[in-house]
Amino acid sequence: MKITRITEKNAEYFRGEIDEYYGKGDAGRMCFGLIDDEENAVGAAVLDGESGDAAIRYFAIGDDHRKRGYGRFFMDEIVKSLSPVLFSRVIFCEFVGLTTEKSEALGFLSHCGFTIDEGSTRRSLYDMEDIIKAYPFGNGKLPAGERLIRGAAADEKLRANVSTIGEKLEADTGYIDSDFILSMKNRYGGIIVKEDEIRAMLGVERFEDGA
């Protein structure tokens, strides 16, 4: 068994598994494949580089090859292949509802040596149809004098203000993902300003069938 980076030369062998991810991320997206000695695809993984973290977006081993230790081997090889200069840790975040069922993903990662922490973050899942109906996509509107600015279109002054707010929140044990707010990935959110003052910031990320 060995791992390989998925590129245009070999993507067709993994496309059935990673169609949702391959070629659709930003410059920090990394796609890995696990192949056997006969060059057959065994598994695939997708990680996104985010501010020193390598975040696992997708990880799978083919049904015919599970329960043989290939998953742990694959994860170990991926971690070893990442540059310690660029990435200080590998992370995976799973949002769970009111359930007592054991998470298969977290159980696997724990077996691989990952530390499992329960976060304090709470998120709500919104229907994409409702989002598309709201401003600026639908007929909704903002209060008079307020503007919505896409994070990726923010000028240097506004970007600096967003970063400053993020730093102040961190100092007060709060949190805001300033990098995401200002990124191209935040296509459904943005920064609301009035008279050059930030009134609100919204980061909207696709998740399952909603956001």
What average pLDDT does the chain have?
84
Residue 154 has pLDDT above 80, yes or no: yes
5: CB partners within 8 A, 6+ apart: 30, 31, 32, 33
Residue type, 103: S
pTM of the full structure: 0.60
Residue 66's pLDDT band (cuts 50, 70, 90): confident
Residue 112 has pLDDT above 60, yes or no: yes
